[in-house]
Amino acid sequence: VQPVEIQDPTDPRVADYVGLRDAELRRPDRGWFIAEGMLVIRQLLRSPYPVRSVLLAPRRFATLAAELEGVEAPVYVAAPAVLNAVAGFDIHRGALASADRVPTPGYRELLAGARMVVVLEAINDHENLGAIFRNAAAFGADAVLLCPRCCDPLYRRSVRVSMGQVLHVPFARVPSWPDDLAALGADGWRVVALTPDPSARPLASVARLAPQERVAILLGAEDVGLSAAAVGVAGERVRIPMVAGVDSLNVASASAIAFHHLGLPMPGD
Ligand SMILES: C[S@@+](CC[C@H](N)C(=O)[O-])C[C@H]1O[C@@H](n2cnc3c(N)ncnc32)[C@H](O)[C@@H]1O
């Protein structure tokens, strides 16, 4: 590919990358999102999301050039100072790309053929959300379902912390909460609520996903945890035992332990 050099941070061709720290620009109703860093851009190139443009520091272009062959979107190169001026902060990774959002499927579409899904209630921290997607990918979850109060998985920091896995693990919003969760149980899904509550069953006593079984693993927000309404519709309440006096695990850490224990057998298990 022949890159186009950008010298002026106000050049309209790099408008997608302006003010990346600006909260106003985080809104999911913007039609595009930002992928940051070489690893994430590589994942983007393998994903179903159409690339709008790529903006790289010259040394990053040298590394990525071969992989950008065949990319139809424009590739821009800018000196680090110009890159930082466009984005509004220090882009030390020197690599950004923008891509179009695509319509998310209805959540029921994602359930067809799925065996293990992750269901999230009010996860409002982008980095935790990204880390949960990374764990979901690692342990073979088929989809992530988000209650209406979860934040945007395609926000830049979530995409980055997921190492690009939000671009591969299908996700959908669950519109009616917790009624749609109850509907999963009624459809024969085993709904397992993860909670640090000492009265819940210890994880080690809970069986791994059996053949023919389908499991929905439910996790809650960092501060308040799962709502009583959500726990109420789950068939099982499960805890990861901890040392006395510790309130809880970070939700993404809890997710990794739970997915590993409950989910599909991994190669070499
Ligand atoms: C930081 S915790 C919430 C803490 C909150 N005080 C509570 O009591 O649930 C966030 C989420 O991580 C999961 N989690 C954290 N620690 C856990 C543990 N020890 N066992 C099971 N799930 C846990 C739960 O899904 C929880 O809703």
- What pLDDT sits at residue 27? 73
- What pLDDT sits at residue 189? 96
Percentage of the chain beyond pLDDT 70 is 99
User: Residues in the chain with pLDDT < 50?
Assistant: none
SS3 233: helix
Q: CA triplet 157, 161, 167: central angle to 5 degrees?
A: 85
CB 131 within 8 A of CB 11: no
- What pLDDT sits at residue 24? 63
User: In the numeric block, which tokens belong to residue 103?
Assistant: 């319509």
Measured from the CA of 250, which atom of ligand 1 is nearest?
Answer: 1
- What pLDDT sits at residue 266? 85
Count the Cβ atoms, other than its own, within 10 Å of residue 148. Answer: 12
User: In the numeric block, which tokens belong to residue 45?
Assistant: 């190139």
Query: Distance between CA 99 and CA 213 in Å, rounded?
Result: 36
- What pLDDT sits at residue 26? 66
State the SS3 of 181-230.
HHHHHHCCCEEEEECCCCCCEEHHHCCCCCCCCCEEEEECECCCECCHHH
Candidates 248, 251, 253: which one to mutate for ligand 1, based on the most atoms within 8 Å of Cβ?
248
- What pLDDT sits at residue 53? 98
Q: In this structure, which residue's CA is closest to atom 12 in ligand 1? A: 251
User: In the numeric block, which tokens belong to residue 225?
Assistant: 């945890």
> What's the burial of 184, exposed, middle or buried (CB within 10 Å: 0-12/13-18/19+)?
buried
Q: In this structure, which residue's CA is closest to atom 18 in ligand 1? A: 196
Measured from the CA of 221, which atom of ligand 1 is nearest?
Answer: 10
- What pLDDT sits at residue 140? 95
